[in-house]
Structure 1
Amino acid sequence: MIYQLTVPAAVKGVDEIRVLEWHGDVGRSFAQGELIVELETHKAVVEVRAGQPGVLRRVLAEAGDWKEIGLALAVFSDTADEPTPADDKDLAELAVDFEVT
């Protein structure tokens, strides 16, 4: 199955978050609990961890990019050989856990 990772509403009152650092390149498999990406607001850092296993297939926001809450950051799949759609709309949400520091 194909999933999208969206900007989490991790900090109350924040409308957008900046991508700080990806913790893997396209093609990397993430196990549940592994750190995928670090995001930051003007006051906090948000660590986004995989809530399910998956393979990073496409990055839609590079380090330094600001994205609004709910917008897609990346596309994941269950396996590396699944074909990804040309259109990233209406994809299932990748399950994630996050910690705000």
Structure 2
Amino acid sequence: MRSVPAVPIQMVIVDRQIALLTLQPDDPRAGALEVRSPSIVAALHTLFEQVWENGPPFGEQAPRDHTGCTPAKRELLQGPAAGDTDETAALKLEVSLRPYAA
């Protein structure tokens, strides 16, 4: 099990043959899209593998930079430092405004 601060897309991949993708990222109850195209499923599986590789094992401390920031904290700080509004920064991080601004 691994943990990442955000995932680019919510999906389920079955036997590397079928992918289920949420229709609306902010409302998983809105339905799902079933994808059977081998090239699209392979691309989604590659995306999953990249996210998996970058996530530390669950319960393990995330690596910190020379300032003591984890990658997730660094990403959170980059929005305001670049002059982004809360709305823009939340969009870039693909999170809702409420947890970002809290």
Output the TM-score relative to the length of structure 2: 0.27
The structure with the greater share of residues assigned to helix is: 2
